[in-house]
Protein backbone atom coordinates (compact mmCIF):
# COMPACT_ATOMS: atom_id res chain seq x y z
CA UNK A 1 0.00 0.00 0.00
CA UNK A 2 1.37 3.41 -0.91
CA UNK A 3 1.79 5.87 1.93
CA UNK A 4 -0.07 9.18 1.92
CA UNK A 5 3.22 10.95 1.31
CA UNK A 6 3.86 8.89 -1.81
CA UNK A 7 0.32 9.51 -3.00
CA UNK A 8 0.76 13.25 -2.61
CA UNK A 9 4.06 13.64 -4.38
CA UNK A 10 4.22 10.59 -6.65
CA UNK A 11 7.89 11.56 -6.87
CA UNK A 12 8.89 8.07 -7.87
CA UNK A 13 6.95 5.45 -9.75
CA UNK A 14 6.26 2.17 -8.07
CA UNK A 15 7.67 -0.57 -10.31
CA UNK A 16 5.16 -3.37 -10.43
CA UNK A 17 6.51 -6.97 -10.72
CA UNK A 18 5.07 -6.99 -14.27
CA UNK A 19 7.66 -4.34 -15.15
CA UNK A 20 5.05 -1.59 -15.57
CA UNK A 21 5.79 1.61 -13.66
CA UNK A 22 2.75 2.83 -11.74
CA UNK A 23 2.52 6.47 -10.67
CA UNK A 24 -0.21 7.14 -8.16
CA UNK A 25 -1.48 10.67 -7.56
CA UNK A 26 -3.92 11.64 -4.86
CA UNK A 27 -6.35 13.10 -7.40
CA UNK A 28 -7.03 12.72 -11.12
CA UNK A 29 -6.42 16.49 -11.33
CA UNK A 30 -2.84 16.11 -10.10
CA UNK A 31 -2.29 13.13 -12.38
CA UNK A 32 -3.62 15.06 -15.40
CA UNK A 33 -1.38 18.06 -14.71
CA UNK A 34 1.65 15.77 -14.41
CA UNK A 35 1.00 14.10 -17.74
CA UNK A 36 0.30 17.44 -19.45
CA UNK A 37 3.65 18.65 -18.12
CA UNK A 38 5.40 15.59 -19.55
CA UNK A 39 3.76 16.18 -22.96
CA UNK A 40 4.64 19.90 -22.93
CA UNK A 41 8.23 19.18 -22.03
CA UNK A 42 8.58 16.66 -24.88
CA UNK A 43 7.03 19.12 -27.38
CA UNK A 44 9.47 21.85 -26.30
CA UNK A 45 12.46 19.52 -26.37
CA UNK A 46 11.67 18.37 -29.89
CA UNK A 47 11.08 21.96 -31.02
CA UNK A 48 14.44 23.05 -29.61
CA UNK A 49 16.01 20.24 -31.64
CA UNK A 50 14.14 21.43 -34.77
CA UNK A 51 12.04 18.27 -34.85
CA UNK A 52 8.40 17.29 -34.91
CA UNK A 53 6.80 15.74 -31.85
CA UNK A 54 4.50 12.85 -32.73
CA UNK A 55 1.70 12.37 -30.22
CA UNK A 56 -0.74 9.48 -30.00
CA UNK A 57 -3.97 10.81 -28.51
CA UNK A 58 -6.99 9.27 -26.83
CA UNK A 59 -10.61 10.30 -26.34
CA UNK A 60 -13.08 9.54 -23.53
CA UNK A 61 -13.64 11.24 -20.22
CA UNK A 62 -10.22 10.31 -18.81
CA UNK A 63 -7.89 12.61 -20.82
CA UNK A 64 -10.22 15.66 -20.76
CA UNK A 65 -8.34 17.44 -17.97
CA UNK A 66 -5.02 16.75 -19.69
CA UNK A 67 -6.31 18.53 -22.81
CA UNK A 68 -7.69 21.51 -20.90
CA UNK A 69 -4.32 21.89 -19.17
CA UNK A 70 -2.52 21.80 -22.54
CA UNK A 71 -4.89 24.51 -23.78
CA UNK A 72 -4.11 26.58 -20.67
CA UNK A 73 -0.37 26.11 -21.27
CA UNK A 74 -0.84 27.24 -24.88
CA UNK A 75 -2.68 30.40 -23.76
CA UNK A 76 -0.71 31.31 -20.68
CA UNK A 77 2.72 29.74 -21.11
CA UNK A 78 3.15 30.11 -24.87
CA UNK A 79 3.29 26.37 -25.44
CA UNK A 80 3.15 25.98 -29.22
CA UNK A 81 1.91 22.91 -31.06
CA UNK A 82 3.28 24.08 -34.40
CA UNK A 83 5.72 21.14 -34.44
CA UNK A 84 3.16 18.56 -33.28
CA UNK A 85 1.76 15.78 -35.45
CA UNK A 86 -1.07 13.87 -33.81
CA UNK A 87 -2.62 10.47 -34.40
CA UNK A 88 -5.80 9.52 -32.58
CA UNK A 89 -6.31 5.96 -31.47
CA UNK A 90 -9.77 5.27 -32.77
CA UNK A 91 -13.13 6.35 -34.13
CA UNK A 92 -16.59 4.83 -34.30
CA UNK A 93 -17.61 3.35 -37.66
CA UNK A 94 -19.59 4.56 -39.39
CA UNK A 95 -20.03 8.04 -37.93
CA UNK A 96 -20.20 11.54 -39.37
CA UNK A 97 -17.69 14.12 -38.19
CA UNK A 98 -20.48 16.44 -37.03
CA UNK A 99 -22.07 13.75 -34.90
CA UNK A 100 -22.02 14.57 -31.18
CA UNK A 101 -20.27 11.28 -30.38
CA UNK A 102 -17.62 11.50 -33.11
CA UNK A 103 -14.08 11.38 -31.77
CA UNK A 104 -13.02 13.78 -34.55
CA UNK A 105 -15.45 16.33 -33.11
CA UNK A 106 -14.36 15.52 -29.53
CA UNK A 107 -10.75 16.34 -30.40
CA UNK A 108 -11.66 19.57 -32.19
CA UNK A 109 -13.81 20.79 -29.31
CA UNK A 110 -11.54 19.76 -26.49
CA UNK A 111 -8.11 20.45 -27.95
CA UNK A 112 -7.45 21.27 -31.59
CA UNK A 113 -9.78 24.30 -31.87
CA UNK A 114 -7.92 25.97 -29.01
CA UNK A 115 -4.27 25.45 -29.95
CA UNK A 116 -2.01 26.23 -32.92
CA UNK A 117 -1.61 22.69 -34.28
CA UNK A 118 -1.67 22.71 -38.09
CA UNK A 119 -4.86 21.06 -39.43
CA UNK A 120 -2.77 19.01 -41.86
CA UNK A 121 -0.87 17.54 -38.91
CA UNK A 122 -4.02 16.19 -37.24
CA UNK A 123 -4.92 12.57 -37.92
CA UNK A 124 -8.08 10.84 -36.67
CA UNK A 125 -9.32 7.58 -38.23
CA UNK A 126 -12.11 8.51 -40.62
CA UNK A 127 -15.50 7.08 -39.68
CA UNK A 128 -17.03 8.40 -42.90
CA UNK A 129 -15.15 6.24 -45.44
CA UNK A 130 -17.19 3.62 -47.25
CA UNK A 131 -17.05 0.00 -46.07
CA UNK A 132 -15.30 -0.84 -49.33
CA UNK A 133 -12.52 1.65 -48.62
CA UNK A 134 -12.02 1.15 -44.90
CA UNK A 135 -9.19 -1.36 -45.22
CA UNK A 136 -7.23 0.90 -47.56
CA UNK A 137 -7.87 3.78 -45.15
CA UNK A 138 -6.41 1.73 -42.26
CA UNK A 139 -3.30 0.88 -44.30
CA UNK A 140 -2.89 4.55 -45.21
CA UNK A 141 -3.19 5.51 -41.52
CA UNK A 142 -0.36 3.14 -40.62
CA UNK A 143 1.70 4.51 -43.49
CA UNK A 144 1.25 8.07 -42.25
CA UNK A 145 2.40 7.09 -38.76
CA UNK A 146 5.48 5.40 -40.22
CA UNK A 147 6.23 8.38 -42.49
CA UNK A 148 5.98 10.73 -39.52
CA UNK A 149 8.72 8.68 -37.87
CA UNK A 150 6.56 6.72 -35.40
CA UNK A 151 4.77 7.88 -32.27
CA UNK A 152 6.92 9.51 -29.56
CA UNK A 153 4.33 9.41 -26.80
CA UNK A 154 1.03 7.55 -26.77
CA UNK A 155 -1.72 8.47 -24.31
CA UNK A 156 -4.15 5.66 -23.48
CA UNK A 157 -7.27 5.15 -21.43
CA UNK A 158 -8.46 1.68 -20.52
CA UNK A 159 -11.95 0.29 -20.98
CA UNK A 160 -13.59 -1.93 -18.41
CA UNK A 161 -13.33 -4.70 -21.02
CA UNK A 162 -9.53 -4.30 -20.84
CA UNK A 163 -9.37 -2.61 -24.23
CA UNK A 164 -6.72 -0.11 -25.27
CA UNK A 165 -7.92 1.97 -28.18
CA UNK A 166 -10.78 -0.23 -29.35
CA UNK A 167 -8.66 -3.38 -29.19
CA UNK A 168 -11.19 -5.56 -27.43
CA UNK A 169 -10.53 -8.96 -25.81
CA UNK A 170 -9.36 -11.36 -28.54
CA UNK A 171 -7.18 -8.75 -30.29
CA UNK A 172 -3.85 -10.13 -31.51
CA UNK A 173 -0.50 -8.85 -30.27
CA UNK A 174 0.45 -8.20 -33.89
CA UNK A 175 -2.71 -6.31 -34.86
CA UNK A 176 -2.48 -3.03 -36.75
CA UNK A 177 -5.03 -0.33 -37.60
CA UNK A 178 -8.21 -2.06 -38.69
CA UNK A 179 -12.01 -2.26 -38.48
CA UNK A 180 -13.18 -4.08 -35.32
CA UNK A 181 -16.38 -5.17 -33.61
CA UNK A 182 -17.12 -3.47 -30.30
CA UNK A 183 -17.48 -5.58 -27.19
CA UNK A 184 -20.83 -5.66 -25.33
CA UNK A 185 -19.40 -3.97 -22.20
CA UNK A 186 -17.84 -1.19 -24.29
CA UNK A 187 -21.15 -0.58 -26.07
CA UNK A 188 -23.02 -0.58 -22.79
CA UNK A 189 -20.53 1.95 -21.32
CA UNK A 190 -21.15 4.18 -24.37
CA UNK A 191 -24.96 3.86 -24.17
CA UNK A 192 -25.44 7.15 -22.31
CA UNK A 193 -23.49 9.09 -24.92
CA UNK A 194 -25.72 7.66 -27.65
CA UNK A 195 -29.01 7.89 -25.71
CA UNK A 196 -29.41 4.13 -25.62
CA UNK A 197 -27.34 1.06 -26.46
CA UNK A 198 -29.31 0.42 -29.66
CA UNK A 199 -27.76 3.61 -31.11
CA UNK A 200 -24.14 2.70 -30.26
CA UNK A 201 -22.26 1.64 -33.40
CA UNK A 202 -21.23 -2.02 -33.44
CA UNK A 203 -17.94 -1.28 -35.19
CA UNK A 204 -14.97 1.05 -34.93
CA UNK A 205 -11.62 1.76 -36.55
CA UNK A 206 -8.73 1.41 -34.12
CA UNK A 207 -4.95 1.46 -34.13
CA UNK A 208 -3.83 -2.10 -33.39
CA UNK A 209 -2.03 -3.51 -30.37
CA UNK A 210 1.22 -3.57 -32.32
CA UNK A 211 0.68 0.02 -33.47
CA UNK A 212 0.36 1.07 -29.81
CA UNK A 213 3.32 -1.02 -28.66
CA UNK A 214 5.45 0.61 -31.37
CA UNK A 215 5.14 4.00 -29.65
CA UNK A 216 8.37 4.99 -27.91
CA UNK A 217 6.58 5.96 -24.66
CA UNK A 218 3.16 4.80 -23.52
CA UNK A 219 1.22 6.50 -20.72
CA UNK A 220 -2.04 4.84 -19.65
CA UNK A 221 -4.38 6.96 -17.52
CA UNK A 222 -6.99 5.37 -15.28
CA UNK A 223 -9.04 7.27 -12.73
CA UNK A 224 -11.70 6.29 -10.25
CA UNK A 225 -12.87 3.19 -8.51
CA UNK A 226 -14.62 1.79 -11.55
CA UNK A 227 -11.26 1.28 -13.28
CA UNK A 228 -9.53 -0.26 -10.23
CA UNK A 229 -10.30 -3.86 -11.00
CA UNK A 230 -9.37 -3.84 -14.68
CA UNK A 231 -6.12 -1.96 -13.94
CA UNK A 232 -5.22 -4.52 -11.29
CA UNK A 233 -5.94 -7.34 -13.74
CA UNK A 234 -3.89 -5.69 -16.51
CA UNK A 235 -0.92 -5.58 -14.13
CA UNK A 236 -1.32 -9.00 -12.58
CA UNK A 237 -2.59 -11.43 -15.19
CA UNK A 238 -0.11 -13.07 -17.48
CA UNK A 239 0.00 -11.43 -20.88
CA UNK A 240 -3.02 -12.55 -22.82
CA UNK A 241 -5.11 -11.40 -25.73
CA UNK A 242 -8.14 -11.86 -23.49
CA UNK A 243 -6.96 -8.68 -21.75
CA UNK A 244 -5.36 -6.46 -24.41
CA UNK A 245 -3.96 -3.93 -21.87
CA UNK A 246 -1.80 -6.76 -20.47
CA UNK A 247 0.30 -6.59 -23.68
CA UNK A 248 1.73 -3.36 -22.25
CA UNK A 249 3.71 -5.47 -19.76
CA UNK A 250 6.11 -6.15 -22.63
CA UNK A 251 6.73 -2.50 -23.52
CA UNK A 252 10.01 -0.97 -22.37
CA UNK A 253 8.70 2.50 -21.46
CA UNK A 254 5.18 2.29 -20.14
CA UNK A 255 3.64 4.02 -17.14
CA UNK A 256 0.20 3.62 -15.61
CA UNK A 257 -0.88 6.98 -14.19
CA UNK A 258 -3.63 6.41 -11.63
CA UNK A 259 -5.40 8.33 -8.89
CA UNK A 260 -5.82 7.12 -5.32
CA UNK A 261 -9.32 5.77 -5.82
CA UNK A 262 -8.17 3.66 -8.77
CA UNK A 263 -5.13 2.48 -6.78
CA UNK A 264 -7.38 1.40 -3.93
CA UNK A 265 -7.37 -2.24 -5.08
P1 LIG B 1 -13.15 6.67 -20.52
O2 LIG B 1 -12.86 5.57 -21.65
O3 LIG B 1 -11.96 7.57 -20.48
O4 LIG B 1 -14.36 7.39 -20.99
O5 LIG B 1 -13.34 5.92 -19.23
C6 LIG B 1 -11.63 4.93 -21.64
C7 LIG B 1 -11.57 3.85 -22.70
O8 LIG B 1 -12.59 3.21 -22.98
O9 LIG B 1 -10.47 3.63 -23.26
Cα of 159 to ligand 1 centre, how many Å?
5
The mean pLDDT value for 76-97 works out to 98
Q: Which of 157, 244, 261 to mutate to test the pocket of ligand 1 (most atoms within 8 A of CB)?
A: 157
Cα of 128 to ligand 1 centre, how many Å?
22
Bridge partner list, 164: 167
State pLDDT tens for residues 134-163: 999 999 999 999 999 999 999 999 999 999
The mean pLDDT value for 83-99 works out to 98
Start-to-end CA distance of the chain, whole Å, equals: 9
Q: Does the pLDDT of residue 221 top 80, yes or no?
A: yes
Atom 4 of ligand 1 has which residue's CA nearest to it?
Answer: 60
Pure H helices in the chain = 4-9, 28-48, 64-76, 103-110, 134-148, 184-189, 209-213, 228-236, 260-263
Q: Does the pLDDT of residue 126 top 50, yes or no?
A: yes
Quick one: pLDDT at residue 10?
A: 55
Other CB atoms within 10 Å distance of the CB of residue 8: 15
Quick one: pLDDT at residue 233?
A: 97
CA 31 to CA 8: how far, in whole Å?
Answer: 10
Quick one: pLDDT at residue 8?
A: 47
Are β-strands 90-93 and 53-57 bridged in parallel, bridged antiparallel, or unpaired? unpaired
Are β-strands 178-181 and 14-15 bridged in parallel, bridged antiparallel, or unpaired? unpaired
The mean pLDDT value for 201-225 works out to 98
Coil vs helix vs strand at 57 = strand
Q: Which atom in ligand 1 lies closest to the alpha carbon of residue 165?
A: 9
Quick one: pLDDT at residue 154?
A: 99
The mean pLDDT value for 229-247 works out to 97
Quick one: pLDDT at residue 12?
A: 72
State pLDDT tens for residues 37-53: 999 999 999 999 999 99
State pLDDT tens for residues 204-213: 999 999 999 9
Q: Does the pLDDT of residue 218 top 90, yes or no?
A: yes
The mean pLDDT value for 228-234 works out to 97
Ligand 1 pocket member 159 (CB < 6 A): yes
How far is C-alpha 65 from the geometric centre of its chain's CA atoms? Answer: 13
Q: Does the pLDDT of residue 7 top 90, yes or no?
A: no
Q: Are 261 and 30 contacting, i.e. CB atoms less than 8 angstroms apart?
A: no
Q: Does the pLDDT of residue 6 top 70, yes or no?
A: no
Ligand 1 pocket member 102 (CB < 6 A): no
pTM across the whole model: 0.95
pLDDT above 90 covers a percentage of the chain that reads: 94
Coil vs helix vs strand at 152 = coil
Which phi and psi angles does 11 have, rounded to 5°? -60, -40
Amino acid sequence: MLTTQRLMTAAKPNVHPSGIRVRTYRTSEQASLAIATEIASLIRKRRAAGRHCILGLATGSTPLRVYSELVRMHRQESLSFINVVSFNLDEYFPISRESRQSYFRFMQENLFDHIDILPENVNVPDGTVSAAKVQAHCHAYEKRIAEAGGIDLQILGIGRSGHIGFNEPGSDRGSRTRLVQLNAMTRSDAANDFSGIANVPTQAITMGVDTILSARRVRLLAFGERKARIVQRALQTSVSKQLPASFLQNHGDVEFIVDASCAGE
